[in-house]
Structure 1
């Protein structure tokens, strides 16, 4: 996997900003729903399933244009750790109803346990997901993400995760 998910995040969020945000300030601060997310998934390295991952995230109660600040951390069954911060883009106003698409880009720090060498501490995590919003504001999503160092190191095989995420609101 290359930087495709990061490109999707950039193109989708900038298009959304141009079409829907700039009439009130392209990156103006606006309220957003604060959520805590819990995610469990399968870790994939070079097309092989190599273990599981647990992820916890927090989406802040504001956004700047189309971007909502988000933070997260994960641990794999091989004791690999990742923690990062970045931005999330979620479809709003594109269609009525509970279905949504989201993408995110989060630079972070990676500490290898017994898992594969993915090329250093700096790892960018980009994700794409689709989900459903419940009446109480909680969401359930199917997520696919890719982590790599963006060729900042000599070794850059990347690592993927396919997971299910439940997020609940903080009121």
Structure 2
């Protein structure tokens, strides 16, 4: 997997910004639902499932245009860890149904532990997911993500996760 998920995030969020945000201020600061999330994932390295990961996330109570500020940290069962911050885009104007699609891009730091050598500490994590919003604001999302160093190092094999995430609304 290359930078395809990062490109999806860029296209979806910038298209939404152009169509829906720019008439009122492209990156205007706005309120957004804050959420705390817990995610369980299978870790995939070079097409082989190599373990599991637990991810804790926080979506801030604000966004800049379509860019919802998000933070995350994860650890795998082999001691590899990642921590980062970035932006998430979520469908808001496509449907009044409780289903949504989201994409995200988060630069962060990776430590290998007993996990695979991904080539350095700086890693970019991009994801795409589909989910459901419950009446109380909680969400359930299935997602796929890819992280790599974006060819900033000589070694760049990348790592993927296939996950399910439950998030509670803090509002």
Q: TM-score range by the shorter chain?
A: over 0.9
Superposition RMSD on alpha carbons, in Å? 0.4
Aligned to 1:149: 149
TM-fit CA distance, 1:89: 0.3
Stretches (4+) displaced over 3 A: none
Aligned to 1:54: 54
Q: Does the alignment pair 1:90 with 2:90?
A: yes
Q: Distance in 2 between matches of 1:86 and 1:41?
A: 20
TM-fit CA distance, 1:96: 1.4
Q: Distance in 2 between matches of 1:78 and 1:163?
A: 17
- What does 1:54-73 align with in structure 2 at a 5 Å threshold? 54-73=54-73
Q: Distance in 1 between matches of 2:2 and 2:151?
A: 10
SS of the counterpart of 2:142?
A: strand
TM-fit CA distance, 1:93: 1.2
Stretches of structure 2 that go unaligned for 5 or more consecutive residues are none
Q: Distance in 2 between matches of 1:100 and 1:86?
A: 19
Aligned to 2:28: 28
Q: Distance in 1 between matches of 2:75 and 2:111?
A: 10
Q: Distance in 2 between matches of 1:147 and 1:27?
A: 26
SS of the counterpart of 2:94?
A: coil
Q: Distance in 2 between matches of 1:123 and 1:78?
A: 18
